[in-house]
Structure 1
Amino acid sequence: MTKLLENIHRAVNIGLVNEMKVVADRMGIDIFEVVDAAATKPFGFTPYYPGPGLGGHCIPIDPFYLTWKAREYGLHTRFIELSGEVNQAMPEYVVSKTMDGLNDQGKALKGSRVLVLGIAYKKNVDDMRESPSVAIMELLEAKGAQVAYSDPHVLHFPKMREHHFELSSEPLTAENLASFDAVVLATDHDRFDYELILEHAPILVDTRGKYRAANKTVIKA
């Protein structure tokens, strides 16, 4: 129960900040600036930052063990289920923002080449479990995009029980970045050359707040 409470605490707060991100984006407000400002309060606030969804083995899965068990006792865990709905919807939100960016350039998602940066579920690891990046790739492909990825920690897309791509990691060169119609930053590995990406990506969709201060137009997702 202690582990479940800790996992649920993070799942609920990540769901909250992901929902706030969508609201703030519609209002033209930088959610990362909002979180940083709120974190200046000396007590009572723990900063959680939004992203493209939840990954890993614990937070996307473990809270629902309690949901299942609670039903045996006639209880409905509304916070857990609501946060799950919000977090599971984030890959769709990222794809929607990518479509908006392409539309602004007079392009359709169908037939466009889209590069996803980072397919591990969090930075600087090779763990693919429940990665929202994979959900983004599948949604893009389902809508007709030609999908590729680049991840210095995952050189070849692994065999997974529910997901399959015959892909290897793309090299991040100026020429290769420029050959794609859109680039989606899904996992912010330290080994990425962020200046190179910013300079050469025709359309850059940032789900991690890495480009908050960028002069070039970046789509915040």
Structure 2
Amino acid sequence: MPADLAVIGLGHHGLPLAQAAIAAGIDTIGFDTDPRAVAELAAGRPPVDGSLTASEIRRMLSGGFRPTTQPAELGRVRTAVICAPTPPGADRALDLTAVTDAARALAARLRPHTTVLLESPVPPGTTEGHLRDLLEAGSGLRAGRDFHLAYSPDRLDPGRRTHGYTGTPKVIGGLTPACTESAAAFYGRLTDKVVRARGPREAETVKLLETNFRHVNIALVNEMAVLCHEIGVDLWDVIRCAETKPFGFQAFRPGPGVGGHGVPVDTLGAHRPLRMVELASQVNERMPQYVVQRCTTLLNEHGKSARGARVLLLGVTYKPDLADRQAAPAAEIARRLMDLGAAVSFHDPHVLDWRVRDLPVPRADSLYEAASDADLTVLLQHHRTYDLQGLAVKAQLLLDTRGATPAGAAHRL
């Protein structure tokens, strides 16, 4: 059965796009090579990362959304959007394997006049180079003449309900002006504002800049957190005051590490490295170690050793109120504490089972009882369900890495 749109890759990029398309009345299929994930979605069950709820998935299905593992479906659509994951590889460069596989599956079935869009984070030049070559070689068609090709960076913030597809401007850059306008016509049905970039390289670099901006600024406040602790300054109060400035300042807050799917890119092949991004990555990667250092110091100050200490970790996801644990610092913090001989347990309302080094970490059922029994409780993620004032009273020792507790109620990062 033909459809208007195929979303290729049903992860945290693709599903929100499919949701927005269905809401806009666009007949949409979702293609993924993972049969289990597709079966779960078809049954109305939400993804494990919590990006969409079960009720949202059911509404999509009732609206006509069809998840599939059948690549033949890709040859029956007017628009195809590649939302494949591009995780960092061993050399820290983005791994384009999933994008390559998606492009090959699409190319074998690509029809003339189709609009092909890429939303996955990729190095600048990927759309008009690697992706174009794959599509043209596999289809015998020519991009910009026989089919439209454009890039649009994914800009959604998972879990943030205030900025959905409609309220988030969509940047697009096409291979040709006609490609750009075809992409604009599609995204104009989903969002209130479309921003035209000069070309696909500029659109790809928008994602690079936005991701690196986040990591560099988090690194700055992370370094400030270490410095302020050393000199006895309340950084959280400093940020509270600084963010009242109506210009030239945007508030970022420190934490135990930087999680999420957007990875900083500090080098692009043979091009010179972005030294500030490289340094920011080093700063942010040291934060789990710094958190463990603060843990051991607090325990020592209260006459306890890390060896044999009972440490309760609160919130092991990378974002508040989501189940997604992608690159969350909790795992490294747990490993380092275990290496010191601590007995680590955890609590997270969104995570029922958590494994570190392939071993199950005990989950606390009664939060207050566990905090009372633990020698040290560490808040790694501030979920809304946590009553931090109550926890501060119950916990023997509480380290707040998110600055969420009332001043004086806990030790803060």
TM-score (ref. length: structure 1): 0.90
Amino acid of the structure 2 residue aligned with 1:194: L
Q: Partner of 1:78 in structure 2?
A: 275
Q: Partner of 2:253 in structure 1?
A: 49
Q: Aligned partners of 1:172 and 1:194: how far apart in 2?
A: 15
Q: Partner of 1:195 in structure 2?
A: 389
Q: Aligned partners of 2:243 and 2:370: how far apart in 1?
A: 39
Q: Aligned partners of 2:384 and 2:367: how far apart in 1?
A: 16
Equivalent residue runs for 1:22-41 within 5 Å: 22-41=226-245
Q: Partner of 1:148 in structure 2?
A: 345
Equivalent residue runs for 1:81-160 within 5 Å: 81-157=278-354
> 2:347, 2:364 within 8 Å by CA — same for their partners in 1?
yes
Q: How far apart are residue 168 of structure 1 and its match?
A: 4.8
Q: Aligned partners of 1:172 and 1:138: how far apart in 2?
A: 23
Q: How far apart are residue 41 of structure 1 and its match?
A: 1.0
Q: Is residue 412 of structure 2 the alignment partner of residue 207 of structure 1?
A: no
Q: Aligned partners of 2:241 and 2:393: how far apart in 1?
A: 29
> 1:133, 1:186 within 8 Å by CA — same for their partners in 2?
yes
Q: Aligned partners of 1:164 and 1:151: how far apart in 2?
A: 18
Q: Aligned partners of 2:367 and 2:313: how far apart in 1?
A: 14
Amino acid of the structure 2 residue aligned with 1:24: C
> 1:186, 1:207 within 8 Å by CA — same for their partners in 2?
yes
Amino acid of the structure 2 residue aligned with 1:35: I
Q: How far apart are residue 207 of structure 1 and its match?
A: 0.3
Q: Aligned partners of 1:173 and 1:79: how far apart in 2?
A: 41
Q: Aligned partners of 1:54 and 1:113: how far apart in 2?
A: 25
SS of the counterpart of 1:97?
Answer: helix
Q: Is residue 411 of structure 2 the alignment partner of residue 219 of structure 1?
A: yes
Q: How far apart are residue 177 of structure 1 and its match?
A: 1.6
Q: How far apart are residue 5 of structure 1 and its match?
A: 0.4
| Structure 2: segments with no counterpart, 5+ residues | 1-204
Amino acid of the structure 1 residue aligned with 2:309: S
Q: Aligned partners of 2:227 and 2:370: how far apart in 1?
A: 34
Deviations 1:83-115 (A, max 9, x none): 001001011111111111110111100111100
Q: Aligned partners of 2:366 and 2:291: how far apart in 1?
A: 21
> 1:54, 1:131 within 8 Å by CA — same for their partners in 2?
yes
Q: How far apart are residue 20 of structure 1 and its match?
A: 0.5
Q: Structure 1 residues 53, 16: closer, same or farther in 2, change over 3 A?
A: same
Q: Partner of 1:183 in structure 2?
A: 377
Relative contact order higher in (CA < 8 Å, ≥ 6 apart)? 1
| Structure 1: segments with no counterpart, 5+ residues | none
Q: How far apart are residue 176 of structure 1 and its match?
A: 2.3
Q: Which has the larger radius of gyration?
A: 2
Q: Aligned partners of 2:377 and 2:366: how far apart in 1?
A: 11
Q: Aligned partners of 1:190 and 1:165: how far apart in 2?
A: 28
Q: Percent identity?
A: 38
Q: Aligned partners of 2:366 and 2:228: how far apart in 1?
A: 31
Instruction: Say what the alpha-carbon RMSD is for the aligned residues.
Output: 1.5
SS of the counterpart of 2:225?
Answer: helix
Displaced runs of 4+ in structure 1, greater than 2 A?
171-176
> 1:148, 1:167 within 8 Å by CA — same for their partners in 2?
yes
Q: How many residues align?
A: 209
Which protein is richer in strand relative to its size? 2
Q: Aligned partners of 2:310 and 2:235: how far apart in 1?
A: 29
Q: Aligned partners of 1:212 and 1:195: how far apart in 2?
A: 7
> 2:256, 2:288 within 8 Å by CA — same for their partners in 1?
yes
SS of the counterpart of 1:68?
Answer: coil
Q: Partner of 1:68 in structure 2?
A: 267
SS of the counterpart of 1:149?
Answer: strand
User: More deviation in 144-153 or 165-174?
Assistant: 165-174
Deviations 1:20-64 (A, max 9, x none): 111011111111111111111111100001111100111xx2x22
Q: Aligned partners of 1:36 and 1:96: how far apart in 2?
A: 26
Q: Aligned partners of 2:348 and 2:318: how far apart in 1?
A: 11
SS of the counterpart of 2:359?
Answer: coil
> 1:155, 1:168 within 8 Å by CA — same for their partners in 2?
no
> 1:55, 1:129 within 8 Å by CA — same for their partners in 2?
yes
Deviations 1:140-180 (A, max 9, x none): 1111111110000001116x8xx533135312443322111
SS of the counterpart of 1:188?
Answer: coil
Q: Aligned partners of 1:211 and 1:194: how far apart in 2?
A: 6
